[in-house]
C-alpha cells in the first residue's frame, strides 16, 4: 500500500488518520494486520504514530503444537525525504511516498521473539518419550544426569 505524503510534507495537511487492514503474505503472521494511528506534519518531516494488531500463528518451538496468539506493536517513526544526520533514527521515503505494507512487515518481523512459544510457561516435550508435558506427565525416569555434568556428579559422590 503506497501512501502519498506530499500534503504532509508541504504542511497543507496537518495530519492524516490511519485505520486500515494490510494483508501480509508472511509466515508466521496471520493476515490481515490492523494498522491504526496517524501521520502528523512537522517541519521538514512527518511523524508516524500507530499500533499494529496482528495474530501470530506458528508451531511452538518447545512443544511443536500449533498456536495462534494475538500481538500488538506500537510504532513511532520520523519520516524524511532526505537524511540530515546518519546517526538519527528515521525512515527515508523517496518521492514523498511511503510503502506502508513494507514498513508494517519489517517492523513486525524485527520485533518477533527469538523463540515462538505457545505460552510463556510452555514445558515442552519429554526428551525420553516425546510426551507433551503441557498436557500430560510422562512415566520416564527423570533422574538421568546430563552427560555434560556426569563428571561433576561423580566428583560430588566421592566426598
pLDDT > 70 fraction of the chain, expressed in percent and rounded: 94
Host H or E run for residue 138 = none
**CA dihedral (17, 75, 72, 35) positive or negative:** positive
Parallel, antiparallel, or unpaired for β 29-42 and 15-22? antiparallel
The pLDDT tens digits for 138-154 are: 888 666 667 788 888 88
The pLDDT tens digits for 20-45 are: 999 987 888 988 999 999 999 888 88
Amino acid at each position: 500500500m503506497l501512501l502519498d505524503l506530499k500534503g504532509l510534507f508541504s504542511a497543507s495537511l496537518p495530519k492524516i488518520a490511519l485505520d486500515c487492514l494490510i494483508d501480509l503474505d508472511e509466515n508466521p503472521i496471520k493476515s490481515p494486520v490492523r494498522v491504526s494511528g496517524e501521520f502528523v506534519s512537522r517541519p521538514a518531516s512527518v511523524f508516524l504514530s500507530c499500533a499494529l494488531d496482528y495474530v501470530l500463528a506458528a508451531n511452538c518451538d518447545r512443544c511443536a503444537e500449533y498456536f495462534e496468539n494475538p500481538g500488538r506493536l506500537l510504532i513511532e517513526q520520523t519520516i524524511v525525504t532526505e537524511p540530515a544526520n546518519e546517526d538519527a533514527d528515521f525512515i527515508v521515503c523517496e518521492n514523498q511516498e511511503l510503502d506502508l505494507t513494507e514498513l508494517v512487515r519489517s517492523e513486525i518481523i524485527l520485533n518477533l521473539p527469538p523463540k515462538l512459544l505457545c505460552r510463556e510457561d510452555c514445558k515442552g516435550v519429554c526428551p525420553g518419550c516425546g510426551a507433551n508435558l503441557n498436557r500430560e506427565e510422562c512415566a520416564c525416569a527423570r533422574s538421568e544426569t546430563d552427560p555434560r555434568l556426569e563428571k561433576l556428579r561423580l566428583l560430588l559422590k566421592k566426598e
